[in-house]
Amino acid sequence: MRGLAIAVLVLCAIPSGSMADKPKVSRAMIKPMEESLDNRLQRLWADDPIQVLGLTQGLYINGYGVVFMSELNLAPGAGISPFHPKVTPDEVKRIHDKKVARIAQLKETMADMLVGSAKSLDAMPADEQVTLGISLFYWNWENSSGLPGQIVMHAPRRVLLESKPAATAKLVTEEY
């Protein structure tokens, strides 16, 4: 019985020792990358900017990799207010068309941001993932048909360190 108790204690101690390992990527490494991602997103369409809702959040998950998340409104509209009490069908169509047109460039920019961020993560193991998730904001009156609610791109860091065309071709892109 005593031998069984010792074996159980040893087995319980093994996972906790590996979980207590110090993270390879520090918060200090992630913070500048968050700011860089926000700046890049805000400059996407300088003449008709998108709306970045909140700041990009990044975190490191030991054994998985780095995850960055942001929320955007690709085509801010006037919205409903006392001075604009109703959204017209033409406005709904114009906003929908603008969002549809911007999705491709958003995906291209996301891929560029992933490739660029992988170079800054030299402390992270090459087999861990670099992930960027963008949630897209829609008002309840908007037509969101044909548009994703979220775009998630990821790849192992080693893939992102390859040439840009090779890395971009190997990115996993998921839309929800």
Phi/psi of residue 25, nearest 5 degrees:
-115, 125
Distance CA 76, CA 51 (A): 6
Evaluate whether 138 touches 76 at the Cβ level (below 8 Å): no
Do residues 155 and 171 lie in contact, with contact meaning Cβ atoms separated by under 8 Å? yes
Distance CA 9, CA 149 (A): 46
CA 172/CA 126 separation, integer angstroms: 16
What is the per-residue pLDDT for 24? 79
Amino acid sitting at position 115: V
pTM confidence score: 0.83
Lookup: tokens for 10: 């040893």
Q: Going residue by residue through the chain, which has 176 residues, state the pLDDT in tens, using 9 for 90 and above.
A: 555 444 444 445 555 445 456 667 899 999 999 999 999 999 998 889 999 998 999 999 999 999 999 999 999 977 777 887 888 999 999 999 999 999 999 999 999 999 999 888 989 999 999 999 999 999 998 999 999 999 999 999 999 999 999 999 999 999 99
Query: Rounded to an integer, what distance in angstroms lies between the CA atom of residue 143 and that of residue 92?
Result: 7
Which residues are registered as beta bridge partners of 65? 61, 129
Instruction: Give the pLDDT of residue 86.
Output: 87
First vs last C-alpha separation in the chain: 52
